[in-house]
Amino acid sequence: MLENEERKSLNFIENIIEEDLKEGNNKGTVYTRFPPEPNGYLHIGHAKSICLNFGLAEEYNGKCNLRFDDTNPEKEEEEYVNSIKKDVQWLGFQWEDEPKYASDYFDQLYDWAEKLIKVGKAYIDEQSAEKIAAQKGTPTEPGKDSPFRNRSVEDNLNSFREMKAGKFMEGEMILRAKVDMASPNMHMRDPIMYRIMHKAHHRTGDKWCIYPMYDFTHGQSDYLEGITHSLCTLEFEVHRPLYNWFLDQITDTEYRPRQIEFARLNLSYTVMSKRKLLELVKKGLVNGWDDPRMPTISGLRRRGYTPESIRNFSDRIGVAKRDNVIDVSMLEYSIKEDLNKKSPRVMAVLDPIKIIITNYPEGKTENLETINNPEDESMGSRTIPFSKDIYIERNDFMEDPPRKFFRLAPGKEVRLKSAYIIKCEEVIKDEKGNIKELLCTYDPETRSGEGSTRKVKGTLHWVSAPHAINAEVRLYDRLFNDEDPDGHKDKNFKAFLNPDSLKIITAKAEPSLKDIKALDHFQFQRIGYFCADQDSLPGKPVFNRTVPLRDSWAKLVKKG
């Protein structure tokens, strides 16, 4: 893994671009685009494509369009358009001018379709979808010509116009390109250009009842926008000859968008197809597209991921020419690295056990100073109240500890972070033998920051019981408990949903966390990174766990 500063060598796309620039192609400009279909929320795979397209435009002083590939009104919605815009901007990118829409080009595409008909390069096929599929052949066997392949231009034009006018029902006929039924590339075997869909479109309303196929739209959209470098994932490599074929029929300029394919991002422990994510949402297996367990950008945001962490991750994984799987721990590393620098340290106790400091005066409160982030002095300090009654984490105490347990145990001492050294004198239990509270004493000479030289091995986080506030804490874990939930022949990906991916608890938190605002980040000391959820109300904070800190204690205890 290379750090940014070390990443001096160019990736293969940058090499291509630099070569183009050197040769003066496209008048020395770089113009890219990010072309989502608005049929779902964006996921971390899209984030990679966004970082790549907008990133290259930034790097080479170029431009990048946001273009909605909205050719299928059946699945597309305004909600998705808005979420996509929000996500791109949140990642820190801004598109050129207004967002573009493939639907803006419907008139032009229609004219081009007529043009193809007029030069005998497109025809209306009235066969059923099954018939057409049966004639397609296989990669090693040529296809069969449709009996409609040689209709007259006039016939084709009339039918196409009637199709547009709404004279036919869905599936009654389609418009096909007349390319080559024997091509070794299946995409060239007279692909569909237009189909009938009696559906309102989220932007063009009822104007159209025929819609262009993606393959008859994408290359032309790039062309119309003057895109110089059209980056897409590997599966589109075999579509490239078709895009070029269409442009060759309808334009007489030399300019062509240059399509470059790269490997899509795959992440372990994750499914990343919009269709599957939609299924999770629709079936209520998660709480919406922005559920913090989702690999969507909106889910990651709500989980506490920062734009910087996602951009760094995207940089780090680079671009490849072959498919591969990235370990999800790399994504988790990126957020820890970023939050380590940015988040204030605070104290919250997730599973409290009470301590009474028997030699501390009743009713007294001290406000102890503590620094907000040892990684960044400019983040200053704050005070936290200390009193006779304290909460610590239940698993920071053991009645019968193993040898290297440096936390609290009968007769043992620990330091309470930014406060005093305490010693456990007595364990109080209820009738059932469960530990109810611990009686401790404190050493008044050991107040932090006052030059005490006495040292103990363990330091614990804590909160003052009478001052603590209750906080709802949502402990998120990975959504799937299998490395490749989508890769099992005999089982559906949903069989691998992690039943423990969300646990909700009430924690005791220091009072400074009373009024937080959504997306504020914190490190709960010794526990992990947390972020305020949008469900927080004044005085009633709700936190999402972004990632746990590595739990070195658990390991020690195991070793015993």
Residues known to be catalytic: 37, 264, 274
Q: What is the DSSP letter of 96?
A: S
**C-alpha dihedral sign at 97, 101, 107, 109:** positive
Alpha helices in 304-418 (DSSP H): 307-317, 328-342
The distance of closest approach from Cβ of residue 322 to ligand ATP in the complex, given in angstroms and rounded to an integer, is 13
- How far is the C-alpha of 75 from the C-alpha of 226, rounded, in Å? 28
Residue closer to ligand ATP (CB basis): 305 or 462 = 305
Do residues 208 and 166 make contact, with C-beta atoms less than 8 angstroms apart? no
Residue type, 232: C
- How far is the C-alpha of 284 from the C-alpha of 501, rounded, in Å? 14
The distance of closest approach from Cβ of residue 299 to ligand ATP in the complex, given in angstroms and rounded to an integer, is 14
Residue closer to ligand ATP (CB basis): 272 or 497 = 272
First-to-last CA distance in the chain? 34
Residue closer to ligand ATP (CB basis): 211 or 543 = 211
CA 412 from centroid of its chain's CA atoms: 46
List CB contacts of 272: < 8 A, sequence separation 6 or more: 43, 44, 45, 265, 266, 295
- 3-class DSSP state for residue 347? coil
Residue closer to ligand ATP (CB basis): 149 or 264 = 264
Residue closer to ligand ATP (CB basis): 203 or 274 = 274
| Closest residue to ligand ATP using C-beta atoms | 45
The distance of closest approach from Cβ of residue 406 to ligand ATP in the complex, given in angstroms and rounded to an integer, is 44
Do residues 94 and 61 make contact, with C-beta atoms less than 8 angstroms apart? no
Q: Between 78-90 and 44-59, two packed helices, what is the crossing angle to 10 degrees?
A: 50
The distance of closest approach from Cβ of residue 253 to ligand ATP in the complex, given in angstroms and rounded to an integer, is 24
Helix (H) or strand (E) holding 554: helix 552-559
Residue 528 has a CB neighbour count (10 Å cut-off) of 20
Positions that interact with ligand ATP (CB under 6 A): 35-37, 45-46, 48-49, 232-233, 264-265, 272-275
The distance of closest approach from Cβ of residue 262 to ligand ATP in the complex, given in angstroms and rounded to an integer, is 7
Residue closer to ligand ATP (CB basis): 48 or 407 = 48
Residue closer to ligand ATP (CB basis): 259 or 512 = 259
The distance of closest approach from Cβ of residue 81 to ligand ATP in the complex, given in angstroms and rounded to an integer, is 12
Q: Are strands 459-460 and 413-416 parallel, antiparallel or unpaired?
A: parallel
The distance of closest approach from Cβ of residue 197 to ligand ATP in the complex, given in angstroms and rounded to an integer, is 18
Q: What is the DSSP letter of 343?
A: P
Residue closer to ligand ATP (CB basis): 67 or 415 = 67
The distance of closest approach from Cβ of residue 228 to ligand ATP in the complex, given in angstroms and rounded to an integer, is 16
User: What long-range pairs does 109-116 form, CB within 8 A, spacing at least 24?
Assistant: 109/212, 109/216, 109/217, 109/220, 110/164, 110/212, 112/220, 112/246, 112/250, 113/160, 113/175, 113/193, 113/194, 113/212, 113/216, 114/157, 114/160, 115/249, 115/250, 116/177, 116/193, 116/249, 116/250
- Beta strands per DSSP E along 224-331: 229-233, 258-262
- Residues in a beta bridge with 537: 540
Residue closer to ligand ATP (CB basis): 232 or 463 = 232
526 Rama class: left (phi>0) / alpha (psi -120 to 50) / beta: left
List CB contacts of 49: < 8 A, sequence separation 6 or more: 34, 231, 233
The distance of closest approach from Cβ of residue 264 to ligand ATP in the complex, given in angstroms and rounded to an integer, is 3
